[in-house]
Amino acid sequence: MNLARCLTMIDLLCTRDFPAQHGRTDVGTGGPGYLMAALRTSDGFWEDDGTRREETEEQFEADRDGLTERLADRWGPPHRVSLASTLERSMSDDEDIPEPWASLSGHVPDVHLWQSPDTARWIALGVSQWDRELPFQLLVLVTVIDPP
């Protein structure tokens, strides 16, 4: 992982305007009030017996933790937030979870979360995998939408 490139991308997202509509952007995805980018993406695991997948998951978590240390120097220790209840609530008809939190909770089990005192934007860092055969991603989300 190129730590300097990841920090540069986070800085860019923290200062960039948000798109007016939900969809793809030049850095990932975005919509009113948020931008999300993959800082790193692994290969898929279609032919894996599980060993390479486990090693890759451990590496992505270590990369997230290393980046967390650098971001903690800026904004202090992160809040470590499980998105399990957000996912559960987003699947019920009783509550409308706002984007990007509803989508994020579908494939990121937890995030390291800060709120920048300079911009009041939330910065969330998490490891994503949509399904066992699909790649891991180290994701960063920058948003003005409060976590649910």
Each domain of the chain, given as residue ranges in start order, spans 3-11+30-143
pLDDT at 46: 80
For the segment 12-66, what is each residue's pLDDT rounded down to a tens digit? Answer: 999 999 999 999 999 999 999 999 999 999 988 887 666 888 888 999 999 999 9
Three-class DSSP labels, the chain:
CCHHHHHHHHHHHHHCCCCCCCEECCCCEEECCEEEEEEEECCCCCCCCCHHHHHHHHHHHHHHHHHHHHHHHHHCCCEEEECHHHHHHHHCCCCCCCCCHHHHCCCCCEEEEEECCCCCCEEEEEEECCCCCCCCEEEEEEECCCCC
pLDDT at 23: 95
| Per-residue pLDDT at 76 exceeds 90 | yes
> Are the C-beta atoms of residues 123 and 64 closer than 8 Å to each other?
no
125 or 90, higher pLDDT? 125
Which range, of 2-16, 38-52, 105-119, averages the lowest pLDDT? 38-52
What pTM was computed for the model?
0.92
Compute the mean pLDDT over every residue in the chain, rounded to the nearest whole number. 92
Which range, of 7-16, 43-52, 106-115, averages the lowest pLDDT? 43-52
